[in-house]
Structure 1
Amino acid sequence: MLPHAKRWLYLVHRWAGVVLCAFFAMWFVSGVVMMYVGYPKLTAAERLEHLPPLRTAAIALEPADALRAAGMAGKPLADLRLAVASGGRAVYLVQPEGAPRRRPATVVDAASGELLRTVDAAWATASAQAFSGGAGSARYLDRIDEDAFTHSRALDAHRPLYRLALGDAAGTEVYVSGTTGEVVRDATRMERGWNYAGAWIHWLYPFRGNAFDAWWADIVNWLSIAGIVLTITGTVVGIMRWRFTRRYKSGSRSPYRGLVMRWHHVFGLLFAAVTLTWIFSGLMSMNPWKVFDSCAPALRTQAMHGGPLVLPAQPSSVQALLAAASPHTRELRWVRHAGHTLVLAASPTGAPAVRDAATAQPHTPDPAELQAAAARLLPDPVARTELLRDYDLHYYSRAAHTMTGGGDKPLPVLRVVFADAHATWVHIDPHTGAVLDKSDTHRRASRWLFALLHSWDWGPLLARRPLWDGVLIVLSLGGAVLSLTGVVVGWRRLVRPWRGAALASRPVAKQM
């Protein structure tokens, strides 16, 4: 290598390390925390667990009455739910078809037909108290737009948020929607505390919700790119300085005599590959500059389901539906799936019971009918359909606290593979007929370049815990040592000239 190029290689690595090694150390340590404590979220299972049973609720209105009260009688719907979910009361939550994605649902009191116009502190307190199940005494804290635990864009339709403490042993705080009055997030004392050492710092959330918010994604992206440059230059320098065939005069293969610098050299060579992998996959998690957006057409879900949701002319009564469902039913949800108007009766455990919306009788989707309906999701032909009875690399479940965990991943599942330009896959729940998710070549590339490389969520490894834990912790600790020694080296590099200048500026004492 030319001396000039070599000098620049050393300079780039040295000064990039001064700036970035602290970030590297922070990412490695916080990543270990995130293996066990994730960013606060309210999963579907947790939400159902905290809802009071519907059988004990005051329900005077049928769904058609609620729609008339909301001014939506006979209109197509995107969603209709009944639950004791707002203000400690049974309410209908109505979402019209074609409404903006982040528009909040219209809330109708199931006892009086009154529309919820505004959510105030008293209403939010009643929601929180019902959520606690009487285990504590909900205490109003404040009204916020966004804080350290509510950066998710999924909460935008619910802002502003009311924050309340439940007064339970876990020190739980809940966030209540300012538009629907539902509890939309919970966070225990342990989750909040560990998150400052975990997801909050790992995702650089100190740059969210303040003057840097508009540049947060760019900050993360460019720090990651700079980290990739730092890792590559450090690997090249480390290999150049390491003597593979003979030793230095000290007897070591590394030229560095100081312990910290020698450790930095050795750990850099040992953990360069995993460091580069994690920094790169972390960048991929941001979908930088929309590289994983394929611009594929949306699924034609109305074509699959035979139109939007409209209640039957003579729907089954709520009481008939509840009598046929489990006594632990927490929510009734009216849906349109594969040409049938159905009601999903959800309880805290297990899959929802599926009932015909007109008769309240159990409904089991016909496999042939479901496949024929699924073929209408795209204009392109179906290449094949598969019934997955086990998870694989692209359809799998993670623990609820993880970034990709907490969603509904039932088995068995129907995978419909289309012969379109984007190689679209659609997963459908054969129990309910619901479309669960969609992927194409771009999204599957994201799965490889982000999820697999960053979280190592490979089924055989995850199935052999604590092997997965041990591998990731050892690699993270190795990366942390590499980064922390870099911090020390960088600090010395910065402090040494300052100390030299300070000593040179001291007056010399006159000799007597």
Structure 2
Amino acid sequence: MFTILLKLHRYLGILLSSVIALWCASGIVMMYQQYPTLTDNEKVSSLTTLDFTNCCVDLETLNLDYDGDYIEIEMLSGNPIMRFSSFYDEFTVSLVDGTFINEINNEQALSVVTNYLYNNNINFNISNITSELINSDQWTIYGTSVRKPPYARYEINNKEKTHLYVSLITGELAQVTDRRERIFATLGPVIHWIYPKAIRDNPSLWSKIIISLTILSSFLCFFGIYIGIKKIKLISGVNINRCKNINYIHHISGLFLGVLLLCWIISGLLSINPFGVLEGRSFHQEYYLNSESGLSMGNISMLIESLNDKGIPEKAVKIYASKVNNTPYAISISGNLEKDRLDIVSLEKSDLAIEDLKIVGANLRDDAGIIEQGWLSEGDSYYYSHHNDRPFPTYKIEYSDGEIIYLNNLTAKINLIIDSNRKLYRWLFAGVHRFDFFKEVRKRPFWDIIMLSIQLSLLLFAFTGLILGFKSLRNIIKRLVRKIFKFNQR
């Protein structure tokens, strides 16, 4: 039995040692370069200051049979537009003539690009900008909230080799990357997640590859740990020559790092929730109740009338409007992401009342009592900034069944929902894989020192396995060649 396990470990090592080494190396890169993701700052950088000179059409003529959840008013190619969103539909309409915008032309898309370049002080020559029509590429399969292809991909051809993507359906900026970001994202998350577009375009194939590689790698580690324990011997002295032996180094280091590597691989597998093992319950009802605010065309017309009469807030590039507990409100967003919550009639500042948040929390879960609620100004065990930034403060509501809902401090929209399975996912994946168990550990550079020590140790250990794997493969090839040579001599 031991001999069989030894052979299995050796052959699995030949197949998987390079995969594990790449996982370790790309994990180090991912500490400092995530997958390119469109940020709120990049979104507003593509907008210009709101101008109602040519505004506005009578919105009552749209004759909608339903209310909306929220609207966003912004500029597109010099004209004000409104983006309307409800549970049933999404559309964009011109506030100049009331026409629906179902697609945009190259001139409009290019204006989004130049706005971004001007607002970010990026040098460019308009004649050097080239464009290409795409449905998706490596940097739009993930990292963008604008899932409205086709996209126009604009290559700025500047020193940074900036690429910008604009949806030709909505006219929204969908993605921004530069050469450095693309290179390190390829060396990091693309390799680590096995995320080449050709594979990721087939979710079933991608999932099977991830599950197969991680399960086989787990067996490789488990067999190695078992073999290491069975073969361990107490050594009375240090033999320098023996320590130079790669087998010996791999064996001794494996006793300490093998368990860590096994935990890391299994936690990585859990990140994709294989076979639904950590799948939480559906929160469809909560999101539905939280999204259908009942914003009517009458509310929207009242807001636009107020903006025309009293003037647009200074430096505003976007106006967001929705309802909380049947009370409409607006949020003015400036180019540097400053946000002011406003009354839609007076346009005076109107902070979200804590009583409104309590009502929202009770309505979202009328089947469970609230045991504790209040403002959260810094991260806790489940809602925190690390790989992704979370907005603070947030309103935290804990229910009697252990579930937690975090609400946005301006809109009362759901920021995050946590149930028992999502709690497990947080500890078994994020805790183990990213080593962010506590806020003290997450602080940098303390986290960097810990993670680099672990990652470099695992990388060196994986590298010894890679060397042994190549040696075993070379020996197998040599034996095979000798057998073929002897057979031909007969």
TM-score where L is the length of structure 2:
0.88
Instruction: Give the structure 1 partner of residue 371 of structure 2.
Output: 383
Determine the C-alpha separation between the residues in 1 that align with 2:66 and 2:73: 18
Counterpart Cα distance in 1 of 2:221 and 2:481: 33
Quick one: distance in 2 between partners of 1:321 and 1:277?
Answer: 60
Please point out which of 129, 132, 135 is paired with 2:117: 132
For residues 217 and 89 of structure 1, do their structure 2 counterparts lie closer, same or farther at Cα, with a shift above 3 Å needed?
Answer: farther
Deviations 1:142-198 (A, max 9, x none): 222222112228657312222112344432101111321211111111101111211
Residue 327 of structure 2 corresponds to residue 337 of structure 1: no
Q: Which amino acid aligns with 1:342?
A: Y
1:18 is the counterpart of 2:14: yes
Whether 1:419 aligns to 2:400 is yes
Q: What does residue 43 of structure 2 align with?
A: 47
Does residue 447 of structure 2 align to residue 459 of structure 1? no
Mapped to 2, the partners of 1:415 and 1:210 lie a distance apart of 35
1:238 to 217, 221, 228: 228
CA change 1:353–1:236 in 2 (3 A) is same
Q: Which amino acid aligns with 1:140?
A: T
* Alignment equivalent of 2:210, drawn from 220, 228, 237: 220
Amino acid at match of 2:474: V
Q: Is the 8 A contact 1:83 1:331 kept in 2?
A: yes
Contact 1:125 1:140 (C-alpha < 8 Å) held by counterparts? no
Residues 325 and 353 in structure 1, CA contact (< 8 A), matched pair in contact too: no
Kindly report which structure 2 residues correspond to 1:61-460, keeping only aligned pairs within 5 A, or say none. Answer: 61=56, 65-66=58-59, 68=61, 71-73=62-64, 75-84=66-75, 86-87=76-77, 89-99=79-89, 105-133=90-118, 135=122, 136-137=124-125, 139-152=129-142, 157-206=147-196, 208-209=198-199, 213-243=203-233, 245-246=234-235, 251=239, 259-300=245-286, 307-312=293-298, 315-317=302-304, 320=307, 326-349=313-336, 352-380=339-367, 381-398=369-386, 402=387, 405-406=388-389, 408-411=390-393, 413-420=394-401, 423-457=402-436, 458-460=438-440
State the alpha-carbon separation in 2 of the partners of residues 280 and 441 from structure 1: 20
| 1:306-354: CA deviation from partner (whole Å, max 9, x where unpaired) | 8422244561336738967652222101111233111111124455211
Q: Is residue 35 of structure 1 aligned with residue 31 of structure 2? A: yes
Which amino acid is 1:358 matched to?
A: V
Change (3 A) 1:276 1:263: same
Classify 1:301/1:431 alpha carbon distance in 2 versus 1 (closer, same or farther; 3 Å): same
Q: Name the CA shift for 1:318/1:200 in 2 (closer, same or farther; >3 Å).
A: farther
**Which amino acid letter does the alignment assign opposite residue 416 of structure 1?**
I
Percent identity reads: 21
Distance 1:291 1:117, change over 3 A: same
What does the per-residue CA deviation read over 1:270-326, in whole Å, with 9 as the maximum and x for residues that have no partner?
A: 322321221111111111122232234534467568842224456133673896765
TM-aligned CA distance change 1:67 to 1:284, over 3 Å: farther
Give yes or no for contact 1:342–1:354 (8 Å, CA) kept in 2. yes
CA deviation vs aligned residue, 1:394-422 (integer Å, no higher than 9, x gap): 11112xxx3xx14x4212x22111224xx
Counterpart Cα distance in 2 of 1:179 and 1:150: 15
Give CA deviations for 1:437-456 in whole Å, capped at 9, x if unaligned. 21111111111111111112
Tell me the amino acid that sits aligned with residue 170 of structure 1.
E
CA deviation digits over 1:254-285, x for unaligned, max 9?
Answer: 9x776322222232223223212211111111
- Structure number with higher helix proportion: 2
For residues 97-132 of structure 1, give each alpha carbon's deviation from its aligned partner in whole angstroms, at most 9, with x where no partner exists: 323xxxxx4222333433323234443323222222
Once the 2 structures are TM-superposed, how far is the Cα of residue 59 of structure 1 from its aligned partner?
4.6
Query: In 1, are the aligned partners of 2:166 and 2:172 still within 8 Å (CA)?
Result: yes
Match of 1:485 among 447, 454, 464: 464
3-state DSSP of counterpart to 1:215: helix
Quote the Cα distance in structure 2 between the aligned partners of 1:186 and 1:322: 37
Aligned position for 1:510: none
> Structure 1, unaligned stretches of length 5 or more?
100-104, 508-512
Deviation digits for residues 9-44 of structure 1, max 9, x if unmatched?
212211111111111111111111111111111111
Contact 2:84 2:92 in 1 (8 A): yes
Residue identity matched to 1:53: T
1:51 aligned counterpart, secondary structure: coil
- Cα 1:276–1:322 change in 2 (3 A) is farther
The answer (yes or no) to whether the contact 2:27–2:188 under 8 Å persists in 1 is: yes
Is the Cα–Cα contact under 8 Å of residues 39 and 199 in structure 1 kept in the other structure? Answer: yes
Q: For residues 316 and 152 of structure 1, what CA distance do their matches in structure 2 show? A: 35
Shift of residue 76, structure 1, vs aligned partner: 0.7
The answer to which of 492-501 and 148-157 deviates more is 148-157
Question: How has the CA–CA distance of structure 1 residues 304 and 212 changed in structure 2, closer, same or farther, with 3 Å as cutoff?
Answer: closer
Q: Give the 3 Å change call, closer, same or farther, for CA 182–212 of structure 1 in structure 2.
A: closer
Q: Distance in 2 between matches of 1:58 and 1:220?
A: 54
Contact in 1 for aligned 2:306/2:345 (Cα 8 Å)? no
CA distance in 2, matches of 1:200, 1:481: 21
Matched letter for residue 353 of structure 1: D
1: CA distance between counterparts of 2:243 and 2:250?
A: 12
User: 1:316, 1:359 within 8 Å by CA — same for their partners in 2?
Assistant: no
Q: How has the CA–CA distance of structure 1 residues 481 and 489 changed in structure 2, closer, same or farther, with 3 Å as cutoff?
A: same
Going from structure 1 to structure 2, the CA distance change for 1:297 and 1:196 (only over 3 Å counts) comes to closer
Cα distance change, pair 47–306 in 1 and its aligned pair in 2 (3 A): closer
Q: Under a length normalisation based on structure 1, what TM-score does the superposition of the two structures give?
A: 0.85
1:443-502, Cα deviation, whole Å (9 max, x unpaired): 111111111111122310122x22211211121111111112212211121122322443
